[in-house]
A and B are shown apart, each in its own frame.
Chain A
Amino acid sequence: MARPSAIWGDGLRGGGVLRLSGAWTADHAAELESALATAMKSLQAGAEDAHFRIDCAGLLSLDTVGAWLIHRARLTLGEKGEVTLVGLKRDQTHLIAEVAQAEIPPEGPPRPTGAYPLLVDIGEAVVNAGKDVSNGVTFFGSVMAALARLALGRAKLRPAAVVTQLERVAMRGVPIIVLISFLVGAIIAQQSIFQLQRFGQPHLVADLVGVLVLRELAVLLTAIMVAGRSGSAFTAELGSMKMREEVDALQTMGLDPVEVLVLPRIIALLIGLPLLTFVSSMAAMAGAALVADIYGGISFEIFFARIQNIIGMNTFMVGMYKAPFMALVIGLIACIEGFAVRGSAESLGSHTTASVVKSIFVVIVVDGLFAMFFASIRY
């Protein structure tokens, strides 16, 4: 295609003829713009009442971009005097007439710069954090109300939904949780033995691993894993249901979305997370025992005999007591974030991320609070 151009020819007194030629199409937009800019620049600040003519006879092709640029040139020249367009074919005239109808609104006010937007962001973040807390409490209340209705027999338990969720949360989570717990148990045992050997007491590894795993590690690992696996899934499911108006459909059928969607998931978590915590404890102990045997030369008999003597039931129960609270926190955050999803795909993504990040953060905070609590009651 021929290169487009816009060149002044001589002619009219006090004005001129702008001869356009070549392909005036979107592909040549950059050349077109610069050609027109040059032509406009070379225009002297002449007298008023000049007469201009834009000669389009040389145009090879024209599309909306070209038509718009011609229209724009006509407007610019129009400020200096009278403008006529000549040499257009019939359909090109149509196109320019169509394009000329568009109004381009003036640009909005420039974006503020400097410290102001930063302050706005900080303010918004603080307000949103406050809203998060109040939303959380509200949602917690409605879940508790639904649980109460369930307990009083005024709401239906949906056993099939609970079992399905339980399978997804607990059953399918077993392999990965066993694997990471086993590995973490083994790594801790190896490090402990290495350090304890300096004191000549490598067999204390059983005490150390036993307390650490049963009190803290098993439940933390499990909760973080569940937040990543199931919490994100809950948020994404509820979020896309919300996007496709499925949640609205439930509501119009007279069903409470909290009862139908949230309760089965939270009940499944409340049952599943303690079970997984138990599985995780056992796997971590197995990993530790194996390393103690191979690396520390402490046989299984000695390892488990020490565990039996040193670790009381209370140590085991500390981990198990914490599990349902972790489950509740993960379930609530995942469902709140899921229902907060708005129309776009981006919003679904950001809420899913927020769900996992917040869950893990709150799980660790809750764990810290429990550590303080159990320490102060000397349990």
Chain B
Amino acid sequence: MASENASHIGHGVQSEIVISVENLAVGFGERLVIDGLALDVHRGEILGVVGASGTGKSVLLRTIIGLVAKKRGTVQVFGHDMDRLNAQRRRLIERRWGILFQHGALFSSLTVKQNIQFPMREYLDLSPRLLDEMAMLKLQLVGLKPEAANRMPSELSGGMIKRAALARALALDPEIVFLDEPTSGLDPIGAGDFDELIATLRNTLGLTVFMVTHDLDSLAGICDRIAALGDGRVLSQGPLEQLKAEPHPWLQAYFNGPRARASHVHSKPA
């Protein structure tokens, strides 16, 4: 699964494309939220997707994972056109990704440990001992204390919910993780820790990360590449420095506005 990718990402070396979206259109009723969007995600990179509210960042994520139906276009994951797969092969692909929903989406009637074990029980044939050990392992991988294992989701803080949900997303050792606003609702220190965690996991587990975010610090800190959405398509994509130089008014306002100046976007050496 893992390859020697951690070192060369972001340095212009072309690697395998794991997600390829072409000419995508998604809409609700008459209105098209996404119209003619094309985007590639490379193995082992952390891609940040940004855009003003309502530009279809979350819709794009949900379309790629198949929760929202598209009007036209193709979505290829690991080189397979998702429309052409039968249900069984689709499920095999779906096992290879994990999703962190914006509000965690932990099952409220299961403990944290049971939440992490749920996909393992469904898909893997593990002995009870190994099942317990793997759940505790994933829990600590995302920086939670073992004591959190037997708590119910309603007893967790916002940051712990995100971590527990990430542990569940990692339960099956996915190759791609989709993160929908992973740091929203976390304090800046918690958000920084979470960013660091994602970068560490990418390096140790060889993950590919597709991250929808508004957090300028995450973009500056851990994203290898950024795709900015607007007008239903990708306005621009590339490393942070490239996007900062774009003349598009929204990109200018976003990356060079007062909030950007306050964050690490500008203090980071180019």
Contacts and interface: CB of A to CB of B under 8 A. Distances in A.
A95 B205 contact: yes
B53 interface: no
B97 to A, nearest CB: 14
Contacts of A344: 108-109, 152-154
Given A89-B4, A102-B137, A343-B153, 4 more contacts: A64-B137, A65-B173, A343-B155, A347-B109
B130 A33 contact: yes
B137 A68 contact: yes
B136 interface: yes
B130 A346 contact: no
A99 B170 CA distance: 14
Interface string A331-348: 000000000001111110
A64 B109 contact: no
Interface stretch (B33-41, B121-129, B187-195, B234-242): B121-129
Contacts of B2: 62, 91-92, 95
Interface stretch (B69-77, B138-146, B208-216, B223-231): B138-146
Interface stretch (A24-32, A77-85, A225-233): A24-32
Nearest 6 CB-CB pairings of A with B: A343-B154, A346-B109, A344-B108, A63-B173, A102-B140, A91-B2
User: Most chain-B CB neighbours within 10 Å: which of A29, A33, A62, A91?
Assistant: A91
- Chain A interface size band reads 20 to 34
Given A30-B125, A345-B109, A98 B1 contact: no
Specify the main secondary structure of chain A where it touches its partner.
Answer: helix
A62 B124 CA distance: 15
A61 B2 CA distance: 8
B140 A25 contact: no
Interface string A1-41: 00000000000000000000000011101100100000000
A95 B2 CA distance: 9
B206 interface: yes
B108 A26 contact: no
A131 interface: no
Contacts of B204: 91, 94-95, 98
B9 interface: no
- Chain B interface size band reads 20 to 34
Nearest to A343: B154
A375 interface: no
A117 to B, nearest CB: 18
A29 to B, nearest CB: 5
B134 interface: yes
B6 interface: yes
Contacts of A345: 107-109
30 contacts: A27-B124, A29-B124, A29-B125, A29-B127, A29-B130, A64-B134, A64-B141, A65-B134, A68-B133, A68-B134, A68-B137, A69-B130, A72-B133, A89-B4, A91-B2, A91-B4, A91-B204, A95-B2, A98-B141, A98-B204, A104-B137, A104-B146, A343-B108, A343-B155, A344-B108, A344-B109, A344-B153, A344-B154, A345-B107, A346-B109
B263 interface: no
B186 interface: no
Nearest to B149: A105
A29 B126 contact: yes
A44 interface: no
